[in-house]
Chain A
Amino acid sequence: MLAGIYYGSMYGGSTTSILVNIPGEAASVVTCLDGYQMARKGRAGAALGMSAFGSFIAGTLSIIALMAIAPPLAKAALKFGPPEFFTLMLLGFILLSYLSRGSMIKTFMMAVVGVIVSCVGVDFISGKSRFVYGVMALEDGVGLIPLVMGLFGISEILINVETCVKQEILRTDIKSMFPNGQDWKDSLGPIFRGTGLGFLIGILPGPGNVTASFVSYALEKRISKKSTEFGTGIIEGVAGPESANNAATSGTFVSLFTLGIPTSAVSALLLGALMIHGMQPGPLLIGKSPDLFWGLIASMYVGNAMLLVLNLPLIPLWVKILKIPYPILFPLIMMFCLIGAYSVDYKVADLIIMNIFGVLGYLMKKCKYDGAPLILACVIGPMFENALRQSLMLSHGEFMIFFTRPISLVFLIATFLLLSTALIKRRPVARLPESEV
């Protein structure tokens, strides 16, 4: 049941991203970029549909991968130590440039703000508090959920309340409820690439489905012939990330099932649940309790399929949500945001944080600063910083550690290649017409 709920929430997050530009969860932030633009063009149905199909395909393929190649992959993942994480995160920061719509400087400014926000809290390496100012609620940092909901959700509500957007735009004939043949042709590549990428990223402890969705978006933009159109509402920008975050979900289970180590908060919960039922997760799990394990896998398949079956017929219904008058819709959204943010840790402080970032997000949107780089930097920043410090502690201060370890070296070379090919080809980093988002 837990696995089913987790899968459901992975898909559910994209519905609101596409319809009202408010991500249902941090991994759906990227879906807002193109998904909402598609909705504004009247193609919400296609976006929702492709999101569902992409998630289903990715989910199914990654469960198969989980069954088939999990153990060797998990062993390989163990080889990732602090130096490997550092160089991987370095590569991740390069991706920031692909997220820029409009001014590159503004993107980087937001990234820096994201890194600063991620520094709030007690630093586990030194034990010192940073930016806490004696407020206990900040000791564990700014939560990602309140941050995302505030920055994207509350700010969107505020913007709309201010401008009283006429809803005619969204009332135009919904051109098609479902993706058409062309959509499928465009999306297949992103879906498969997103699946592979998402699964691999999900296996690693640390970067999870949030990072997977950003990486997929950046990858699709980089290799697409239509890279200038990213951000204006093209289906590749929805299909790829949605597949990636579903695949990453299964990826996080790899570590849990093969090694017994949970790599995310959700898999930690699943670990507890499995132990209560007498399953001892670890390398011996599949051997010792095969029927329970395969039952869990089966439930994931079923959950995945049910998601598709339940959601496809409901797409026309979801699209009708756009027709609800804003005075009713937005207070409802606000209420759900508040409930959602409180349900994370039952702290009123999270609600305050959400609202502060809501106002900040509103100001950002007015001044055309994008929130996506902030989120990516907030997720990658701590991993980047901590991995660097841990690596230097391991090597007693030698920077050569990043070059002497093979996997780390590979990432460094990849970073170098990425940067140099961009310079050599003089490929213009896609400057998109500044959109309102």
Chain B
Amino acid sequence: MKRMMILSVIGVLFVNFGVLATYANGQAEAFPVKPVDMYVGFPPGGFTAISGQMVAAGMKKYLNQPVIVNFKPGASQMIVAEFVKNSKRDGYTLFYMSLHDLHAKFALDKKEGLPVKVQFGEFESLGAGPSSPYLLAVNAESPWKTIEDFIAAARKSPGSLNYGSGGMGGCDQLVMGLFRQKAGIALNHIPFQGGGPATTALLGGHVQIITFSVVTLAAHVMPGGGLRPLMVFDKKRSPFLPDVPTALEKGYDIVLSTWQGLSAPKGLPRPVTASLINAFEKTMKDQDLVQSLAKFSASVTYFSPEEVEKKGQEEYKLFLDIWEKLGTK
């Protein structure tokens, strides 16, 4: 009995030391010691959710711990944003955000003077990667073969051509707004409930032009898909659509893409942030990820955290500017 007692005391002491040792070393050295939770603000099935799952699978390799994807959709990512903002700053709760959507939402809320529960800048970026440029598309059976044709037709009868958007306040509305401003045309805005219905409306000829990301429109802008791509809003031509001219080629300085990135609530210990940034960067350079994303016609453009902050600020200011100039038309 006495021996049992001594052994058990020693055992308990060992365990305690072990725990204390890990703790004393600072969890940073051992980070992560348990699975990491990654939160996505959209329901499963959408592209953000899908790319999030791919990124999680990639990061698992470099963090040596599973990264679990959780879905908390609602209120244009505001619900998940508030959730992550209020979580513990230990590096185990991350936010995989659709950056362009978030910036559009922040800018719109600011312009409308709505109370913001989550401020722009309350998150620390860990990097960004998966992206897809916006694309202008018309019906394949329409008479406009190039963007110039369309602009000419729009100028001839202002307000008669309809453009479909994915809903008031969406990023695609901003892209179209910028394009209309630079091309000097007036279009009739018909909002739909998301990219799907808007694309259906274009296929049915009820609207004449739409703009969504290459990922969203991929299946339809391929030959035989029913839509004709006119212009892509990127610095260089999309590898998936090499025949489509860029906006820069046509003289419009508009470069807008959908982009997703990972972030954490501000205030993580430095070593934790460093290992997360490192793992994310390695994942972005991983060929498996690039190939999986290519199946969806998405590409990877890695941005470091500093670059994300800079580009994010620029994008936010641009969106705020567009909302203010165009109103919500």
Q: Are B188 and A127 interface neighbours, CB within 8 A?
A: no
**Out of B72, B117, B219, which one reaches A345, CB within 8 Å?**
B72
Cβ-based interface call for A97 (8 A)? no
**Out of B115, B159, B168, which one reaches A125, CB within 8 Å?**
B168
Residues on the A chain within 8 Å of B108, using CB? 127
Chain A residue nearest to B204 in the complex (CB): A78
**Binary per-residue interface labels of chain A (390-403) against chain B in the complex, 1 for a CB within 8 Å, 0 otherwise:** 10011010000000
Cβ-based interface call for A317 (8 A)? no
**Out of A139, A263, A281, which one reaches B74, CB within 8 Å?**
A139
- Contact size range, B: 35 or more
Measured in the bound complex, the distance between the Cα atoms of B200 and A134 in whole Å is 33
Measured in the bound complex, the distance between the Cα atoms of B224 and A119 in whole Å is 39
Cβ-based interface call for A282 (8 A)? yes
Q: Are B79 and A347 interface neighbours, CB within 8 A?
A: yes
Q: Are B219 and A260 interface neighbours, CB within 8 A?
A: yes
Q: Are A283 and B168 interface neighbours, CB within 8 A?
A: no
Cβ-based interface call for B190 (8 A)? yes
Q: Are A79 and B70 interface neighbours, CB within 8 A?
A: no
Cβ-based interface call for B121 (8 A)? no
**Binary per-residue interface labels of chain B (162-174) against chain A in the complex, 1 for a CB within 8 Å, 0 otherwise:** 1000011100000
**Binary per-residue interface labels of chain B (202-225) against chain A in the complex, 1 for a CB within 8 Å, 0 otherwise:** 011110000000000011101011
Measured in the bound complex, the distance between the Cα atoms of B115 and A427 in whole Å is 55
**Out of A79, A127, A262, A273, which one reaches B196, CB within 8 Å?**
A262
Q: Are B50 and A268 interface neighbours, CB within 8 A?
A: no
**Out of B47, B49, B206, B296, which one reaches A82, CB within 8 Å?**
B206
Chain A residues 28-73 with CB under 8 Å of chain B are none
Cβ-based interface call for A265 (8 A)? yes
Residues on the B chain within 8 Å of A345, using CB? 43, 71-74
**Out of A78, A125, A275, A278, which one reaches B203, CB within 8 Å?**
A78
Residues on the B chain within 8 Å of A386, using CB? 193
Q: Are B74 and A347 interface neighbours, CB within 8 A?
A: yes
Measured in the bound complex, the distance between the Cα atoms of B74 and A26 in whole Å is 21
Residues on the B chain within 8 Å of A298, using CB? none
By CB atoms of chain B within 10 A, which of A269, A283, A347 has the most? A283
Chain A residue nearest to B168 in the complex (CB): A127
Q: Are B200 and A78 interface neighbours, CB within 8 A?
A: yes
Cβ-based interface call for A136 (8 A)? yes
Measured in the bound complex, the distance between the Cα atoms of B70 and A137 in whole Å is 17
B75 CB → nearest A CB, Å: 4
Measured in the bound complex, the distance between the Cα atoms of B73 and A134 in whole Å is 17
Cβ-based interface call for B312 (8 A)? no
Given A275-B296, A390-B190: A124 and B74 within 8 A (CB)?
A: no
Cβ-based interface call for A272 (8 A)? yes
**Binary per-residue interface labels of chain A (243-264) against chain B in the complex, 1 for a CB within 8 Å, 0 otherwise:** 0000000000001000111110
Given A124-B193, A136-B79, A347-B79: A282 and B328 within 8 A (CB)?
A: no
Q: Are A268 and B78 interface neighbours, CB within 8 A?
A: no
**Binary per-residue interface labels of chain A (339-364) against chain B in the complex, 1 for a CB within 8 Å, 0 otherwise:** 00000011100000000000000000
A120 CB → nearest B CB, Å: 13
Among all A-B residue pairs, the 9 with the closest Cβ atoms: A127-B168, A282-B219, A81-B206, A124-B167, A78-B204, A269-B45, A139-B75, A260-B219, A136-B75
15 contacts between A and B (CB under 8 A): A78-B203, A79-B204, A126-B168, A136-B75, A136-B117, A260-B225, A265-B43, A268-B45, A283-B224, A284-B224, A346-B70, A346-B72, A347-B72, A393-B190, A396-B159
B-to-A contact residues, CB < 8 Å: 43-47, 49-50, 70-76, 78-79, 82, 108, 115, 117, 159, 162, 167-169, 188-193, 196-197, 199-201, 203-206, 218-220, 222, 224-226, 292, 295-296, 328
